[in-house]
Amino acid sequence: MYPAEFGRETTQINVLTKSGTNQYHGTLFEFLRNYKLDASQYAFTALRPSKDPFKWNQYGFTLGGPVRIPKFFNGKDKLFFMGNYESFRKRGSNSGLFSLAPAAFQTGDFLSSSKLIYDPLTRATLPDGTLTGSPFLGNIIPITRVHSTSQKLLEFYRKPALAGVTNNFTQALSRPQNRDQFILRLDYVESAKSTWTGRYSWADENESTPGLTQDGGKLITNLEQYMGSNTRILSPSVVNETRFGYTRFYNSVGTLLAFQRDVVDELNIPGLKGGDPVSWGIPAVGIANYTGIGDSTDGPFENKNSTLQFLNNTSIIKGKHSIRFGGEIRKDQFNQVGNQFGRGSFGFTVTPTQDPRALTAGSGLPLQGDAFASFL
């Protein structure tokens, strides 16, 4: 059973930071893992596979000891410090496999396609209710018919490196991870009956998950914590502790282009606005049978939280009994925002460019058409 002062949650984690001593002590450390030190992958054929680039570094230091300031703390057992810094750097990549429209398709040239591309503007209904339409001449969409928004979105696409329309493009996707942490603690022995402690903690973390081009996600976390406490012996049987704490926590999950580029307003799609810089990114464009364009429809999700805390505890020893009582004043702020479909979501199928007669029930005709042609 936890003491009453820890009764806020169902679990309890105690973390203790070390204090300095009358002597200076420190450490340095480095952990290294590098693909150049790794063995090659086992090859089942005569072609030996190359090693995937990978770098991992963790390094830092600790330093502690006395603080001696003439006229103030010119002696032992008075003021001490203890600090540490830790850093984490990870660089690696994995292969992404994509199904992109062939380069000719991206210009509107579907001459090499096995399916006819029908012009949506020629679609009509005959008196007997049958749908009709005509394919583009030469199976080529005139450049004047390619929508300006589609042309702009092609900036965020790629030309395939292999033939075909499935799994025709591979790309190394790097995923950098960075973490830093710093802690500084000060201890002051005012007298045999009173000690003071102060601590400052800071941490920062960011991680990127890229996509095909400028799309992808970014995770950012940053926090600061301040703590001050005084432990005072009021009598041989009474001890009082007063503590102050403040924690600031920031976390966001968003796009790679957040705060950098407002693609939505650049596209100027009617009814769609870029909004706050934290939500900037590329609209999600789904194209049936192909890899889509743009960012996920989720996000951004942003947290700006803080906790302010004051508490006082008093411990009394009375014979065989131990009595502990106190109080806490705490202010929690949870400032959270989130969004979905903030940049819009668009989907394209083969329907607009397929043979209209195939839409008639029981026609038995192949669908024809192409979703990328519909997108254009």
Give the residue from 182, 226, 186, 185 showing the smallest Cα distance to 204: 182
Question: Does residue 4 belong to any structural domain of this protein?
Answer: no
Q: What is the mean pLDDT of residues 128-156?
A: 93
- The residue ranges of DSSP E strands in 67-210, in sequence order, are 79-98, 124-125, 131-132, 169-174, 177-191, 194-210
**With a threshold of 0.85, does the pTM exceed it?**
no
Percent of all residues in the chain with a pLDDT value above 90, rounded to a whole number: 65
Q: pLDDT-derived band of residue 105, with 50, 70 and 90 as boundaries? A: very high
Check: CB of residue 139 under 8 Å from CB of residue 111.
yes
Establish if 11 belongs to a structural domain: no
* 15 confidence band (pLDDT: 50, 70, 90): confident
**10 Å Cβ neighbour count for 310?**
14
User: Looking at 256-354, which runs of residues are DSSP E strands?
Assistant: 284-287, 298-318, 321-340, 345-348
Average pLDDT over all residues of the chain: 90
Residue type, 201: S
The H or E element spanning position 30 is strand 25-34
For tokens 């700006």, name the residue.
304
How many structural domains compose the chain? 1
Whole-angstrom Cα distance, residue 169 to residue 71?
A: 71
Hey, which residues does 31 pair with through a beta bridge? Answer: 58
pLDDT digits (tens, 9 = 90+) for 56-100: 999 999 999 998 877 666 557 789 999 999 999 999 887 788 999
From its phi and psi, is residue 58 left (phi > 0), alpha (psi between -120 and 50) or beta? Answer: beta
Asked if the structure places residue 9 within a domain, the reply is no
17-26, 220-229, 335-344: lowest mean pLDDT where?
335-344
pLDDT at 331: 97
Phi, psi (deg, nearest 5) at residue 166: -125, 140
Maximum separation of any 2 CA atoms in the chain, in Å: 105
CB 182 within 8 A of CB 83: yes
Q: Is residue 1 part of a domain?
A: no
DSSP string, 163-203: SSSSS-EEEEEE--EEEEEEEEEEEEEEETTEEEEEEEEEE
- pLDDT interval class at 310 (50, 70, 90): very high
Q: Is residue 35 part of a domain?
A: yes
Cβ-based neighbours of 376, under 8 Å, separated by 6 or more: 108, 141, 145, 146, 147, 150
SS3 state of residue 106: helix
- Supply 270's token pair: 């009617």
**Structure confidence at residue 117 (pLDDT):** 95
Average pLDDT for 258-265 = 92
Residue 3 has pLDDT above 80, yes or no: no
Is pLDDT at 257 greater than 70 in this prediction? yes
Domain of 300 in residue numbering reads as: 17-375
Kindly calculate the radius of gyration of the chain based on its CA atoms and give it in whole angstroms: 32
SS3 at position 297: coil
Q: Is the pLDDT of residue 259 over 80?
A: yes
Per-residue pLDDT tens over the stretch 161-170: 888 888 888 8
Q: Which of 285, 212, 189, 202 is nearest to 249 (CA)?
A: 202
Q: What average pLDDT does this structure show over 101-106?
A: 95
Q: What was the pLDDT predicted at 25?
A: 96
pLDDT, one tens digit per residue, over 30-49 is 999 998 888 876 655 555 66
Give a yes or no: residue 62 inside a domain: yes
Would residue 185 count as lying in a domain?
yes
Using alpha carbons, select from 66, 38, 46, 357 the residue that is nearest to residue 186.
66
Which residues sit opposite 172 in a β-bridge?
95
Lowest mean pLDDT among 114-118, 271-275, 346-350: 271-275
Confidence of residue 365 (pLDDT cuts 50, 70, 90): confident
Q: Which residue has the tokens 């001050």?
A: 228
Tell me, yes or no, whether 355 lies in a domain: yes
Contact 249, 223 (CB under 8 A): yes
| Three-state secondary-structure class, residue 218 | strand
